[in-house]
A and B are shown apart, each in its own frame.
Chain A
Amino acid sequence: MTSDVIKKLNKIYAEALEEVGKGKLYAQRRVELEIKYLGRKGKLNDVFKEMAVLSDSARKEVGVLANKLKSDLKLQLGQAQLQNKKSATTITFDETIPGARPKIGSLHPITQFLERIMAVFSTLGFEIVEDREVETTVYNFDKLNIAFDHPARDMWDTFYIKIKNKKEKIKNKEESSLVLRTHTSPVQIRAMEKRRPPVRLVVPGRVYRHEATDASHETNFYQLEGLVIDRNISVANMIYVLHTVLKQLFGDKVKIRIRPSFFPFVEPGHEVDMSCIICEQKGCSVCSGTGWLEMLGAGMVHPVVLKNMKVDPDKYSGFAFGMGVDRLIMLYHGINDIRLSYSGDLRFLKQF
């Protein structure tokens, strides 16, 4: 009896396989076959009904086999359908055709570069500070130790702004002149009116110089100012930070060179040069054959400026630095004319 049932089961299984193998198995046919063989009233279940007469052990043996055949058949059905799908979805197309892009715009190269610089400074724990563009001469010059009658004032060609209803407004003589800030340095003073050391801050912003424009000079341009004040801050710290930042921006290979220089708001004052990234110091037109590029003005915050910030120069010291961002992007992107920055020419802007 047992062998009869087993034979029957095997036979049904063979039939089923034969049917699965015939032609392409679409979803509907699969369902039909499932019902026919595996369904509640299907062929395999019919055989189960005959098992009632079998002994317990025989029933168990047949049961195991029947279940195995059932799951095998399910597998076969599944695979057959999959096989069918595979061949049906082979579609030919030209994979080398350009992608259809949604129209996107562009960010100004200065915006992008500033963002890169800000990211570097953020990792070094610098706070980003911004402030006003029209300044009094007090903040733009006097508080930065640039006295009115000092020849150093000629280092900045300045735009002056007419003050409306001057008489009504001027209460103390100190703030009698308005200028478009010639550097981001007044923000150092403004920032320190609301902060106490230790501070580490970086100031991006637009500045103005009254000069004739050409391929390397603009009246509007961007500067980046930095200020660090803490106990025991030294030139050695300044060199470390500035070298680190330039390496992050231009690659680990860059070297820096410190030259003594003069800015009234720092003492000692420095110019920081970076090894030419164009020629790698072999000498080229960008570095005028010197192998070095002028990158930053820097120095230790002048004690007078610290006092103007209400910081005790005997307890604290600090360094400050500034760089022209327009020049950096020119270098970085190989732009030969600074005026393109303000041209609004989309053929230029869309390249970045």
Chain B
Amino acid sequence: MITCDEFFAEFGDYLENRVSPEVRKELELHLSQCRACHVLYDSTCQTVKIVTDNSSFDLPRNISESIIGTVMAKLRADRA
């Protein structure tokens, strides 16, 4: 079985689903037998899910409309 360091070396690509079937098999065998790496994998996936699902840093519509309004007014005035 691969070591925790070897698991970690492929971890970024595994999270992004970018590993070959052969590498995936090795990583999943390791995950099934190593609690520390399992917790790491699970909590990192949850972190990504929480960040992805909560539309953070949303620009309030009134603010964006006000900025776009100011910009377009200036451009129309310049053109006139």
Interaction A to B: no
Binding site for B on A (CB under 8 A): none
